[in-house]
Structure 1
Amino acid sequence: MMLTHAEPVSGSLSATPNDVRPYAWAVFALTAGLLLSDYMSRQVLNAVFPLLKTAWHLSDTQLGSLSSVVALMVGILTFPLSVLADRWGRVRSIALMAAMWSLATLGCAISTNFGEMLAARAFVGIGEAAYGSVGVALVLSIFPARLRATLTAAFMAGGAFGSVLGMALGGVVAVHLGWRWSFGAMAIVGIVLVVLYRLVVTEKRLTPLQPARAFAQPGSADIRASLSTLLRELFSSKSVVCAYVGSGLHLLVPAALWAWMPSFLNRYYGMAPGKAAVGAAGFVLVTGLGMVVCGVLTDRVSRGAPEKKWLTAIVYCLLSFTLLATAFRFAPGPLQLMLIGAGMFVSAGACGPAGAMVANLTPPSIHASAFATLTLANNFLGLAPAAVLAGIIADRIGLLGALQLVPLAPLAAMVAFVIGRRNYSRDLCRFEAQRDSAQH
């Protein structure tokens, strides 16, 4: 089996000049805007959990499955679709994916039972499957390497901000127009952004922003690698594998809390569904802000000492566990909410360091595939099982009991990051030596 990648193996993003053109920021804004739409369509469901539970008499396990099926489809399809995007063109692929998840979200609005909703949600996941990996690969290809952790964190934080908008706007719309219009509103936003993106972003206009192409030899854009070679590059070192695993495990916490926080506030604080959705959106916003702050902090702390990125990831996981495990042991009240907010601020903080490590340890020519692998790990280890696993446990011991167990996940992620840190310097030296050898 032969695979074609869009970029040459030779060259490095580190060759990108330090100045950043305004068009690059416009591309970043539009690509991140579509990620907002992605998560608005994904997370609007959580805002209407209480309404769906009442309307269709669903169990927590069924509610959780409606959320988890999206991440499951993303996990299954992200790698093959990302590889196809490298071959077909990232801009066209992004537009097609966004159109698909927007239309599938419209399908959720007209669903009449659990089965139809589950199928529509699955198609939302199919549309979103490769977007995160392809989008971040496109963004990193037009910016300097020194901004990798910041841009990765900022881009992925778009998921949190999209979740905020999806939950808050979805909750408000549901109260005034009904839950079906919540999905309809998200679909309209997605379709408008697709049209705008397709008008502004083109492969031709992106080419001058990707200096790595300038180092390509004739025909090198058509370099082909066997699947076995691609897999060796994706899993070339113990530290890059640890980055995949640690990133996935630590995301189980924010995924579970994003899914169940509206229901938690509804059940334990007596908030009406609309108010609970808006309140939960505030916690999701805190998570997104934390991702950006943690990414910027990681780049600053690790300037001149890349191995410190691992240390920041370890610290974020430890803080997340400590704060959230403590919070859910307290009785409902201001102190509990404050501790939950603090825990959620750092709960996804390792996204930036993990993404930077993956970019540093894989060739630029396969960055879409590398981030697809990272996305696969994020979904299979964290995002996909989070909501349904918490729902299964909640059906047995209550939602509070389930949320008391969720903070254990960052401890497992921390172990992976510790192992990665121990091997990083050696693995990075070997990778750079291999890259230099290939260029000469």
Structure 2
Amino acid sequence: MAFHTVATGDVQTAAPSVTRRYAWVVFALTFGLLISDYMSRQVLNAVFPLLKDEWVLSDAQLGLLSGIVAVMVGLLTFPLSLLADRMGRVRSLALMAMLWSLATLGCALAENFPQMFAARFLVGVGEAAYGSVGIAVVISVFPAHMRATLTGAFMAGGMFGSVLGMALGGVLAAHLGWRWAFAGMALFGLLLALLYPLVVREKRIGQVRVAHQGGGHPLRSLFNSRSVVAAYVGSGLQLFVGAAVMVWFPSYLNRYYHMGTDQAGAVSAIIVLVGGAGMVLCGILSDRLGRQAPQRKIVLAIAFCAISCLLLSLAFRLPPGTAQLSLIALGMLVTTGTSGPAGAMVANLTYTAVHGTAFATLTLANNLLGLAPGPLLTGVLADHLGLDRAFQLIPLISIAAALVFAFAHRHYHADIKRLRAEEATRC
């Protein structure tokens, strides 16, 4: 039985024509490749000590091997997502997965630093647009009222994949050597890359390609409403807080709980997983409460910002102990909760034909406003005030995020009406 769209404010030009079972198969395979993406990206961190000893590398060289992937993702996310919207998303996803998996296999075969750097460079090229194009494929086969859930779950996959990549990579490296850590990630990705285009077919999911028709070019919808710009900015600002805590929490545990790196890493991994769970759970809550009134999703995003600010600010003013750790976990559960509502807003406020590019724009905003500056500013504040004091101040950024989402809520209804009018002129 095919899905049917409920008449709500969630914009979807046509109901998905695929069956519920096929839609979930598409989600499972696309999500599996996302897990592979982050496992291939983060497995390097698990073998840092082994590479450092075997090749006599500096910490700067190790950092470069890790950072080059992020650099390529930042540079290529937008153009490759736009290309995928034009040439076909399924074909593009399969090619991306094949490239990063073969490049990860190249890491396993590398004999020196330059070869490893070249392989990691190609890993970054392959992974650059996967997240944005992958979520565009997923939301195309589900009803519009599930967009917050799907976006939250998809973004959480990055966290789960990162933890799994480091954990599984460490086990493989300990028992079989660091080369098998890379090889294991590569084989998993190659298997899914070969299977994906056999099961997920462009014609079956009915992708609408970018085309210049009456009513304006679809790319205009990326920035021509106040609500969609506010969604980008609000999402990025809120991730500023989450990224700061995730990156610096192991150091916080080391300095104020006197934990060793192994114990601090394990506790921090739990916090990361809690943040990932928050993306999924808050996305589900947003879709359930906003099914008949989608603007409630924005209200919930505002509430998530405010609650996270309150919980984390209070938590980092408590003395070290179980109460503090419990409150931090609760705070992180809500801090990541805006990912689903923000993704749903972006999907609702842009044309279906450019959803890959729209999510690439959201990814750029998340990186430029949140994932990059959050850890950096926290480090600067820690140098001057101490890490404990920095963590007391960083949650205040959530207030700015809440104000931006409130601005989006004010203009959302009018922007949705205008987009529907434009779509009517294009038909």
What range is the shorter-chain TM-score in? 0.7 to 0.9
Residue 254 (structure 1) aligns with? 242
Distance in 1 separating the partners of 2:49 and 2:315: 23
The 8 Å contact of residues 99 and 194 in structure 1, kept in 2 or not, is answered as yes
Matched with 2:152 is 153
**2:121 matched to 1:133?**
no
Selected match of 1:414 from 383, 402, 405: 402
Matched, 1:339 2:343: no
Distance, in Å, in 2 between the alignment partners of 1:237 and 1:260 is 35
Distance 2:347 2:94 in 1: 24
Question: CA 1:153 to 1:329, structure 2 compared with 1: closer, same or farther past 3 Å?
Answer: same
Distance in 1 between residues matched to 2:413 and 2:47, nearest whole Å? 47
Whole-angstrom CA distance in 1 between matches of 2:393 and 2:213: 43
Aligned counterpart, 1:355: 343
Percent pairwise identity = 59
1:366 aligns with 2:325: no
Alpha-carbon spacing, 1:252–1:49, altered in 2? closer, same or farther (3 Å): farther
Q: Is the 8 A contact 1:313 1:349 kept in 2?
A: yes
Question: CA deviation digits over 1:275-327, x for unaligned, max 9?
Answer: 44333222222112111110111112222222111111111112222222333
Distance 1:180 1:91, change over 3 A: same
TM-score (norm 1): 0.81
Whether the aligned pair in 2 keeps the contact of 1:243 and 1:417 (CA below 8 Å) is: yes
Check the 8 A contact 1:320/1:407 in 2, yes or no: yes
SS of 2:337's equivalent? coil
Q: Counterparts of 2:276 and 2:413 in 1: how far apart (Å)?
A: 30
Does the 8 Å CA contact 1:46/1:260 hold for their aligned counterparts? no
Pair 1:252–1:124, CA change in 2 (3 A): farther
5 Å-filtered alignment, 1:138-217, equals 138-173=137-172, 182-207=181-206
After superposition, what is the alpha-carbon deviation per residue over 1:379-415, rounded to whole angstroms, capped at 9, x for unaligned?
Answer: 2222234445555665666655554554343233222
- Cα distance in 1 for partners of 2:173, 2:251 equals 15
Query: Where does 1:20-35 land on structure 2 (aligned, <5 Å)?
Result: 20-35=19-34
- Code of the residue aligned with 1:134 in structure 2: it is V
**Aligned 8 A contact 2:85 2:210 in 1:** no
**1:244-277 Cα deviation digits (max 9, x unpaired):** 1111221223333433444544555455544443
Give yes or no for contact 2:218–2:351 (8 Å, CA) kept in 1: no
Partner of 2:90: 91
For the structure 1 residues 346 and 172, does the alpha-carbon distance in structure 2 shift closer, same or farther, using more than 3 Å as the test? farther
Q: Which residue of 1 aligns with 2:419?
A: 431
Answer with 307-316 or 380-389: which moved more.
380-389
| Structure 1: segments with no counterpart, 5+ residues | 1-11, 214-220
Q: Which residue of 2 aligns with 1:283?
A: 271
Contact 1:244-1:373 at 8 Å conserved across structures:
yes
* Counterpart secondary structure, 2:372: helix
Amino acid at match of 1:186: M
**Cα distance in structure 1, aligned partners of 2:120 and 2:330:** 31
Helix, strand or coil at the partner of 2:403: helix
Instruction: Specify whether residues 342 and 45 from structure 1 end up closer, same or farther in structure 2 by C-alpha distance, changes over 3 A only.
Output: farther
How far off is 1:77 after superposition? 1.4
Equivalences for residues 111-130 of structure 1 within 5 A: 121-130=120-129
Match of 1:74 in 2: 73
In the aligned structure 1, how far is the partner of 2:240 from the partner of 2:46?
19
Cα distance in structure 1, aligned partners of 2:176 and 2:321: 31
Normalising by structure 2, what TM-score? 0.83
SS at match of 1:350: helix
Q: State the secondary structure of the residue aligned to 2:291.
A: coil
Q: Alpha-carbon deviations, 1:343-398, whole Å to 9, x = none?
A: 21112111111111111111112111211211221222222344455556656666
Shift of 1:193: 2.3
Contact 2:228/2:349 (<8 A) preserved: yes
Q: CA deviation at 1:48?
A: 6.1
Q: Per-residue CA shift, 1:61-102, capped at 9, x if unaligned? A: x88776565444323211110111112221121122123333
Verify the 8 A CA contact 1:171 1:278 in the aligned structure 2: no
Q: 1:140 to 1:254 in 2, by over 3 A?
A: same
Greater mean deviation of Cα atoms: 47-56 or 126-135: 47-56
Structure 1 position 34, deviation (Å): 0.8
Alignment match, 1:8: none
Secondary structure at the aligned position of 2:231 is classed as: helix
- For 2:136 and 2:246, the matched residues in 1 are separated by 26
Q: Does the Cα contact within 8 Å between 2:302 and 2:402 map onto a contact in 1?
A: yes
Q: Which runs of 5+ in 2 are unaligned?
A: 1-10
Q: Which of the numbers 221, 226, 230 marks the counterpart of 1:233?
A: 221
Question: Structure 2 CA distance, aligned partners of 1:98 and 1:50?
Answer: 27
Kept in 1, the 8 Å contact 2:16–2:140? The answer is no
RMSD: 3.4
How far apart are the structure 1 equivalents of 2:264 and 2:168? Answer: 12
In the alignment, the residues of structure 2 paired with residue 416 and residue 241 of structure 1 have an alpha-carbon distance, to the nearest angstrom, of: 9
Which residue does 2:59 correspond to in 1?
A: 58
State the secondary structure of the residue aligned to 2:326: helix
Worse overlay, 18-27 or 419-428: 18-27
- Answer yes or no: is the 8 Å Cα contact 1:67–1:388 preserved in 2: no
Distance 1:145 1:289, change over 3 A: same
Match of 1:242 among 230, 242, 259: 230
1:153 to partner: Cα distance = 1.6
* Larger RCO (CA within 8 A; separation ≥ 6): 1
Structure 1 position 144, deviation (Å): 1.4
Instruction: Name the count of aligned residue pairs.
Output: 413
Which letter does structure 2 place at the counterpart of 1:88? M
CA distance in 1 between counterparts of 2:353 and 2:24 reads: 22
| Partner residue, 1:4 | none
Contact 1:240 / 1:358 at 8 angstroms: preserved in 2?
Answer: yes
Q: Which has the higher mean CA deviation after the structures are superposed, 303-312 or 185-194?
A: 185-194
2:18–2:205 CA contact under 8 A, matched in 1? no
Structure 2 match to 1:9: none
Q: Which moved more, 1:23-32 or 1:394-403?
A: 394-403
**SS of corresponding position for 2:293:** coil
Structure 1, 18-27 or 126-135: larger mean CA deviation: 18-27
Q: Which amino acid aligns with 1:81?
A: L
